[in-house]
Amino acid sequence: MARVIPDGWETMQASGPVQRELETLATLSAGLPDDYTVYHAVHWTNVERTHAIYGEIDFVVVNRAGQLLIIEQKSGYLEETAEGLAKNYAGKIKVVSVQMGRTADGLRGKLMRSLNGQGVFIEHLLYCPDYTVRNPLTAGLSPERIVDARRRGELCGLIQAILPAGEDGPLAGRIHGFLCDTIQLETDVSALIGQARTLVTRVSGGLSHWARQLDIEPFRLRVTGTAGSGKTQLALAEYRDAIARGRRPLYVCFNRPLADHFARIAPAGGLVCTFHMLCDQLLRHSGGTPDFSASEAFSKLVADVAHLPVTPAFLFDTVIVDEGQDFAPEWRDLVLRHASPDARVLWLEDPMQNLYGHPPAELPGWVRLRARSNFRSPRPVVKLLQPLLPPGVEIEATAPISTAEVEFLVYRDHAGLLQAVKDGIRMCYSAGFRKNDVALLSYRGRENSRLLGYDQLGPHTLRSFTGNYDACGQPVYSQGDVLAESVFRFKGQSAPAIVFAEIDFEAMGEKEIRRLFVGATRATMKLILVLSERAAGALLEKI
């Protein structure tokens, strides 16, 4: 069975051409032996100009020798013109052979530059599973390089005939590194809480590219990146890389929901936990038992662990601190002491998401990488937030897709709040989002929210954290269609459509701006703000 990169494609739900590509992935995965690696939906970018995507390839198959076969898939109907096979894109005719030639030349040029001019073997193949080519000789491509509807069953056999498995080649590792790093295929940790699905994103010039270009000894990297810049994607890439090299990684964050989610999508072989979970494990390993029923239990846990030595069982080869702005100053050394002497250590933070008022960590001598591009949040969301940012803080709106403007629903009293939330969820459904695509966030914490106490609002049932954990330590959620969470617990995550409600304040200070920033940047496609009259007035004065 061939290896498919990125993984997680089996859980993706799609329709139309994307569904056809997933079917092709299943065919390639099952039909090719493990001598082959298949890269799916490969995009590459001029990272100096983040929007200049100048090529697109549906699949790249790589054999053991590091030789490549580009597969361009054209689903649906094609036209046979005088210039050759063509595809109609909303009235614009594009000749397939020209598209394939341009993308192949772009890939070859960029790959050779990364290999310092060394030659690469690149073949090509057109796959049109829904169309039978009537005149192969005039299609603009060699007939042997066309797999149409009549030959769908021969796809894997033809690939192996064009690109034999070969023997391990000296450039194979560098070519795989190029496809993974420079083209920047990473797993996007944008799934809803309680689900274990993996989405794939194409990050243009993101952190996973730049961070891997740094040569630091010892490796101490502090990444100060805005929401949506790919910090957690970088964390996952580092974590996976450590596992692949036979080393033990440690991922630590503050929020339990983020740790639970990261643990579900990360490979086995390391430790994923919150800071307090790490303290708990260290204390129990030494023979102690924390008393969480006592007052100030978590403060006492930290104090008790501070006096304990770190045994070899709790030393790691890679240490990743995510959401570092949430860490109290005294926690810094308690986390970093778990790094072995030659460990790679990363501290990922966003000062604008500091909801607990902790001062920034002091990390003298560390290399700092700043990331101001937000690839995740819709551009209208970033445009809304930009006037609210303090001096010196910049965000670049670099989301690759255009979306609707931010919508505002204003309420006067509690009854008005409930009606506005119901209207907001209905608006998301009307826009085509499914129940699992929508998350309802409260501006308030769980203890102070009046909204999160509801199990149902009109026809909409809510799924929320019960405060309990099952025998495996996983959080227990109530039954419902729409995830309902506080903005505090949803940090570090995102959903396609966000209804951000219970937004109420008299004036917009630093605390209010940060909380609004965190909630708004959780949306990847649609954002609806449900504000009180006074909060709406204060916001309008700022924007």
User: Using H for helix, E for strand and C for coil, what is the string for 362-424?
Assistant: CCCCCEEEEECEECCCCHHHHHHHHHHCCCCCCCEECCCCCCCCCEEEEECCHHHHHHHHHHH
CA separation for the pair 289, 269 (Å, rounded): 25
Calculated CA dihedral for residues 464, 466, 469, 474, nearest 10 degrees = 0
Q: Collapse the DSSP code of 179 into the 3-class scheme (helix H, G, I; strand E, B; otherwise coil) and give the result.
A: helix
The answer to whether the beta carbons of residues 530 and 411 sit under 8 Å apart is yes
pLDDT in tens, 407-452: 999 999 999 999 999 999 999 888 778 888 899 999 998 889 999 9
The answer to whether the beta carbons of residues 111 and 176 sit under 8 Å apart is no
Q: How sure is the predictor about 54, in pLDDT bands with cuts at 50, 70 and 90? A: very low
- Asked if the model's pLDDT at residue 360 lies above 70, the reply is yes
Question: How large is the average pLDDT for residues 76-98?
Answer: 81
Those residues whose C-beta lies under 8 Å from the C-beta of residue 62, and which sit 6 or more positions away, are: 36, 37, 38, 39, 68, 69, 172, 175, 176, 179
pLDDT in tens, 250-288: 999 999 989 988 998 888 999 999 999 999 999 999 999
pLDDT for 304 equals: 93
More confident residue, 84 or 249: 249
Q: Is 359 exposed, middle or buried (0-12, 13-18, 19+ CB in 10 A)?
A: exposed
At 339, the amino acid letter reads: A
Question: How large is the average pLDDT for residues 133-138?
Answer: 82
What 8-state DSSP symbol labels residue 16?
T
pLDDT in tens, 485-495: 999 999 888 88
pLDDT for 134 equals: 87
Question: How large is the average pLDDT for residues 353-378?
Answer: 90
Q: How sure is the predictor about 49, in pLDDT bands with cuts at 50, 70 and 90? A: very low
Q: How sure is the predictor about 208, in pLDDT bands with cuts at 50, 70 and 90? A: low
pLDDT for 203 equals: 40
**For residue 442, how many other CB atoms are within 10 A of its CB?**
27
- Asked if the model's pLDDT at residue 472 lies above 80, the reply is no
Q: How sure is the predictor about 9, in pLDDT bands with cuts at 50, 70 and 90? A: low
